[in-house]
């Protein structure tokens, strides 16, 4: 990538201290800014990170949760200004790079062990 593109990309990224070092398998709370008319409020969406991909300002991650018995997945750009905060709640111990297999599982089988380190 050219130096100029690199610079523009860097401007779009958030400072590193605003993004916790979360990995795939972790459980996170994502604080999303929602605009309704001219009012702004924050909604918290929590679930398991099942994928994290892309690089630079384009990096994004997928959070899966079970909402009223239905699986819901949302993809967020990590550096989006609409994300007020990402909170890391629990580290997961996993053996896959992407946890897409969770889509086929429910209940006890879809649990992820907590990592102890």
Partner 1 sequence: MNALIGRKLGMTQVFDQTGAQVPVTVIQAGPCVVVQRKTLEKDGYEAVQIGYEEQKETRLTRPVAGHFRKGGITPRRVLREVRLEEGGSDTKVGDVFSAEIFEGAGFVDVIATTKGRGFQGVVRRHGMIGGRASHGSGNHRKPGSIGMREHPGRIFKNKRMPGHMGSTQVTTQNLELVQVRKDDNLLLVRGSVPGPKGGIILVRKSIKKASRAS
Provide the token pair at 85: 């905060």
Smallest gap from Cβ 5 to partner 1, in A, equals 5
Q: Which of residues 36, 81, 109, 117 is near partner 1 by CB under 8 A?
A: 81
The single residue listed with the structure tokens 């009223």 is 68
- Find out whether 103 and 62 touch, Cβ atoms under 8 Å: no
- Find out whether 10 and 76 touch, Cβ atoms under 8 Å: no
Smallest gap from Cβ 58 to partner 1, in A, equals 6
Strand pairing report for 70-77 and 27-36: unpaired
- Closest to partner 1 by CB, 40 vs 87, is 40
Q: Which of residues 18, 46, 82, 89 is near partner 1 by CB under 8 A?
A: 82
Distance of CA 46 to the CA centre of its chain: 9
Residues 42 to 61 in contact with partner 1, rule: CB under 8 A: 57-58
Binding site for partner 1 (CB under 8 A): 1-2, 4-5, 8-9, 12, 33, 35, 57-58, 77, 79-82
């Amino acid at each position: 990538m050219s130096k100029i593109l690199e610079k523009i990309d860097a401007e779009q990224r958030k400072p590193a201290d605003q993004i916790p070092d979360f990995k795939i398998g972790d459980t996170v709370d994502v604080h999303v800014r929602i605009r309704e008319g001219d009012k702004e409020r924050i909604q918290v969406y929590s679930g398991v990170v099942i994928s994290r991909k892309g690089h630079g300002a384009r990096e994004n991650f997928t959070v899966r949760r079970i909402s009223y018995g239905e699986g819901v997945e949302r993809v967020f750009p990590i550096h989006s200004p609409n994300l007020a905060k990402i909170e890391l709640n629990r580290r997961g111990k996993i053996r896959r790079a992407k946890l897409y297999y969770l889509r086929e599982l429910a209940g006890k089988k879809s649990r992820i062990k907590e990592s102890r380190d």
